Structure 1
Amino acid sequence: MAEHPAYPVGLRLTGRRVVVLGGGQVAQRRLPALIAAGADVLLVSPGATPSVEAMADAGEIRWERRPYADGDLADAWYALIATSDPEANAAASAEAERHRVWCVRSDDADLATAWTPATGHSEGVTVAVLTTDARGRDPRRTAAIRDAVVEGLRDGTLVAPHHRTRTAGVALVGGGPGDPDLITVRGRRLLAEADVVIADRLGPRDLLAELPPHVEVIDAAKIPYGRFMAQEAINNALIEHAKQGKAVVRLKGGDPYVFGRGMEELQALAEAGIPCTVVPGISSSISVPGAAGIPVTHRGVAHEFTVVSGHVAPDDERSLVDWPALARLTGTLVILMGVDKIGKIAETLIAHGRSPDTPVALVQEGTTAAQRRVDATLATVAATVAAEEVRPPAVIVVGEVVHVGPRSAE
């Protein structure tokens, strides 16, 4: 038997009897997959780990608290032998052979009739890896190969195109604050599978260079005071390409629903009957301050933080922000899209009670190679922005947390 490789096969165990002998660490690792497969699991063991016992208490498995007895495997389709008793393991293995039950042995793989592969899962795909040479099995290498394949499928570095017809649809993907490593695993995988990518300027631009040549990239950049693509045009582009049966990714900076107009796009797609998947992203409101050494909350300093848009000034009739109320708060204030309005914002906060000495930090191009931090106070921030030529995109943090991090000791 050792001269031939194992024959790989996927067992469909739903509703079928599976017997597990032994309730120790091996069973604890293997039981979840058997439960997920829908198997009718019988555990035979005098004792069990707390985790295994919890599975029995929850009704996920049946547990007979006793040692193995001849006949336990008579009606089984599959068996896992993992007791600490060599004699019981040998007897159970012999019974499995008599009843033609595929049997895994944790104590001696060479005497087993089946081996458990190293398995992993990614979006409906199960990856199972077995060593083909029975004389040179290397479980660590097998697991490493499994991990490499699964990780590649998840992050999009290993692309496996769909060859069957796909349902037309759009994915609204939050790309994070700018560093390409900060996009979610799911977002990166969807990018790798895309036919069309409609990208914002604030999205992780470096990821676009990794796309295959056939992918159409549409620039939906909304550059302040420059050229822009109207939201209606973006919505129409999403709909038109999806109706052509293409996989469309709308790559946005930060999170689609944090000042990203993601809901407007979702509503337009819903009206057009286009299915849409929303992939949350890391919001720059938290991640950019963190990258600059600023926690938005800190014990004894700030028990809350508020994120607000500064794209319209406090005295603008279009503003929906209660600036006087924000001025009375003692926690952290994070302002997005507020570089050009920060003078008016600071004046309003001071006028309604916030101290002129309140620390302010502006973090420009956060998480990217061009990141820089400029510190000021509410009283000086307008002049500082002009003198330091701070430009969007920049996240503005107002509050005592600005002085919490290592920079405060410089």
Structure 2
Amino acid sequence: MPRADPAEPTGAGPGRGRVTLVGGGPGDPGLITVAGLRALREADVVVTDRLAPQECLAEIPAHAEVIDVAKIPRGEQTSQETINQVLVDQARRGRHVVRFKGGDPYVFGRGGEEVIALTQAGIPVSVVPGVTSSIAAPELAGVPVTHRGLAQGFTVVSGHVAPGDPRSTVDWAALARTGTTLVVLMGVHTLRRICTRLLADGMAPTTPAATIADAGLASQRVVRATLDELPDAVDAAGIGSPAVTVIGAVAGGDLPGTGDLAARGLVR
């Protein structure tokens, strides 16, 4: 029986546009999936942002158009509604549109909103999952999110809404007691409030923590500290987005990371 092609959604056909959401991984071009790279090579239009591995754009066809939909935290923004409309409009022109995203489209991303908008517009859409930064970024820095004897699980939360914010739906007191590694995405701006809340809810000040910025790239940086000292250490290092923070015993080790894959000759 032929295998289903994740880059070929049901309903697509000659002269009919379609959209493929491609997760690009944490930033290193060596971590994009085979299916994701194939979709890029078949694209007529690539709608991308700053978190996708830009080197992979060298793989797109010569005729393909690149549309930048930047979303810079507290800076230049392209609204999600505008992005949705770009995808719909381009697909209605009979094109294969690839929405190229960093990380995984469904891990605290807007991939779900894009799929809903496309489905409502009658556009065939498929999703190629990406390597999630919540696990890959720590591993690239030598910080496993679990390690036998240290952590029996991990919990991934989004930090884009701080503890105490009326929009927050996270039970931070429960997280402080859960006994799992905590992985915080999109939490650079709110890191101090997150650490303060975890400490107030009983997490030990000496709990190891690490923040990994630009994981897998030549600009990768890692800041390690205890939970009570991490916000000051991150501020002193001038860390900005994108970054992943790991809180728990696993952040206190010194295991070898894979570092920059390109520097080790694993990708072009």
Q: TM-score, normalised by structure 2?
A: 0.89
Aligned partner of 2:88 in structure 1 is 239
2:257 equivalent to 1:257: no
Residue by residue over 1:127-147, the C-alpha shift from the partner in whole angstroms, topping out at 9 and shown as x without a partner, is xxxxxxxxxxxxxxxxxxxxx
Please give the alpha-carbon distance, in whole angstroms, between the structure 1 residues aligned to 2:41 and 2:225: 42
Please give the alpha-carbon distance, in whole angstroms, between the structure 1 residues aligned to 2:78 and 2:241: 18
What 5-or-longer segments of structure 1 have no aligned partner?
Answer: 1-35, 38-120, 125-153, 155-163
Aligned partner of 2:55 in structure 1 is 206
- In the TM superposition, residue 166 of structure 1 has moved relative to its aligned partner by 4.7
**Distance change >3 Å, CA 325–CA 379, structure 1 → 2:** same
- Structure 2 SS opposite 1:255: coil
2:66 equivalent to 1:182: no
- In the TM superposition, residue 292 of structure 1 has moved relative to its aligned partner by 0.5
1:248 partner amino acid:
V
1:345 partner amino acid:
I
- Structure 1 SS opposite 2:152: coil
- Select which of 201, 211, 223 maps to 1:352: 201
2:246 equivalent to 1:397: yes
Aligned partner of 1:84 in structure 2 is none
Residue by residue over 1:230-285, the C-alpha shift from the partner in whole angstroms, topping out at 9 and shown as x without a partner, is 00000000000001000000001110000111110000001100110111110000
Aligned partner of 1:219 in structure 2 is 68
Please give the alpha-carbon distance, in whole angstroms, between the structure 2 residues aligned to 1:207 and 1:268: 26
Conserved? CA contact 1:295–1:405, under 8 Å: no
What 5-or-longer segments of structure 2 have no aligned partner?
Answer: 8-12, 257-268
Aligned partner of 1:380 in structure 2 is 229
Aligned partner of 1:16 in structure 2 is none
Aligned partner of 2:149 in structure 1 is 300
- Structure 1 SS opposite 2:228: coil
Alignment of 1:102-251 (within 5 A): 165-251=14-100
Work out the number of aligned pairs and report it: 251
Flag the structure with more relative contact order, 1 or 2, with Cα contacts below 8 A and sequence separation at least 6.
2
Please give the alpha-carbon distance, in whole angstroms, between the structure 2 residues aligned to 1:167 and 1:260: 27
Please give the alpha-carbon distance, in whole angstroms, between the structure 2 residues aligned to 1:200 and 1:330: 35
- Structure 1 SS opposite 2:52: coil
- In the TM superposition, residue 212 of structure 1 has moved relative to its aligned partner by 3.0
- In the TM superposition, residue 214 of structure 1 has moved relative to its aligned partner by 1.7
Conserved? CA contact 1:255–1:283, under 8 Å: yes
Please give the alpha-carbon distance, in whole angstroms, between the structure 2 residues aligned to 1:122 and 1:332: 36
- Select which of 267, 272, 285 maps to 2:134: 285
Conserved? CA contact 1:241–1:248, under 8 Å: yes
1:312 partner amino acid:
V
2:46 partner amino acid:
V
The Cα RMSD (Å) is: 1.9
Point out 4+ residue stretches in structure 1 off by more than 6 angstroms.
none
- Structure 1 SS opposite 2:190: helix
Please give the alpha-carbon distance, in whole angstroms, between the structure 2 residues aligned to 1:212 and 1:280: 22
Which structure carries more helix by proportion? 1
Please give the alpha-carbon distance, in whole angstroms, between the structure 1 residues aligned to 2:207 and 2:94: 53
Conserved? CA contact 2:24–2:130, under 8 Å: yes
Q: Which moved more, 1:351-360 or 1:397-406?
A: 397-406
- Structure 2 SS opposite 1:251: strand
- Structure with max Cα Rg: 1
- Select which of 301, 306, 314 maps to 2:163: 314
User: Percent identity between the aligned chains?
Assistant: 54
Please give the alpha-carbon distance, in whole angstroms, between the structure 2 residues aligned to 1:122 and 1:244: 25
- Structure 1 SS opposite 2:174: helix
